[in-house]
Amino acid sequence: MAFAPAAMGYDRALTIFSPDGKLYQVEYAAEAVRRGWTSIGLRSDRGAVIIAERRRVAPLHDVLNLEKVFVVDSHVGATFSGLGHDGRVLIDYARLLAVRYRLIYDEPIDVELLVRSVCDLKQAYTQQGGVRPFGVSLIVAGVDRKGVELFRTEPSGLYFMYYAVAAGSGEESVTRYIEKHYRKDMEVEELIVLGLRALRAALEEPLTVERVEVGYISADEKVFKKLTTEETMKYLEKAGVTT
């Protein structure tokens, strides 16, 4: 009688740990993030910036109307790397949490509370049969009573606060570039330029308005906004990444 390799049982069951203490389905979800489109988040005392890569998936694809940076609440924005359908569901869930909090408490939700609530859902999908982990990492930026905050969530339900963070296929190249050029006292405009240059270094090809989407929030205004096509083009030229 032939037997399958021992690892295959752990490979197919979400709720069973492997002998080396891993949940393989969670590892696979993390791999989906590493293969995703590149996303970048940066923050300083002046504000925070979110930059997301966009790709043309078909010759007739309308890339400019592909949304990769999302307004979650007036003071919070987010993007994601990994499985797009999982990301969309989690963004909608985060928006619902933010709206409910405003209706109940008549004030904006703290950014970390929002992130932790999303991660509670992500963690719950790692501990029961009949479901699979969310194959997506969210990058969330906002301003609340504690100041400017930037988080990245993991498929396992973990989250961490960062000064700058990247996710997706270009994560390593982006991180190396930012580590060399980042300063904690940068203005929002400087953060945008730094993020665009880091993305250019990861893609190793010129950037166009179709390839990138940018959102930002300043510590003074506390309102998350997205750059228009014209504004994005100006920053691309300022960063020198169009050639």
How confident is the model over 8-27, as pLDDT tens digits?
Answer: 566 677 778 888 888 889 99
> What single-letter amino acid sits at 61?
H
Report pLDDT for 4: 46
- Beta strands of the chain (E only): which ranges? 39-44, 47-53, 70-73, 76-82, 136-144, 147-153, 159-161, 164-167, 212-218, 225-226
Q: Report the percent of the chain where pLDDT is more than 70.
A: 95
What pLDDT is attached to residue 203?
Answer: 93
Q: What is the mean pLDDT of the chain?
A: 93
pLDDT in tens, 161-187: 999 999 999 999 999 999 999 999 999
Neighbours of 43 (CB within 10 A): 28
Angle formed by the axes of helices 188-203 and 171-181, nearest 10°: 140
Domains defined along the chain, listed by start: 36-239 (3.60.20.10)
**DSSP-derived 3-state class of residue 7:** helix
Cα 138 to Cα 79: distance, rounded to the nearest angstrom: 6
Instruction: Give mean pLDDT, residues 92-104.
Output: 98
pTM for the full predicted model: 0.93
Q: 108-144 pLDDT, tens per residue?
A: 999 999 999 999 999 999 988 788 999 999 999 999 9
DSSP-based three-state secondary structure for 77: strand
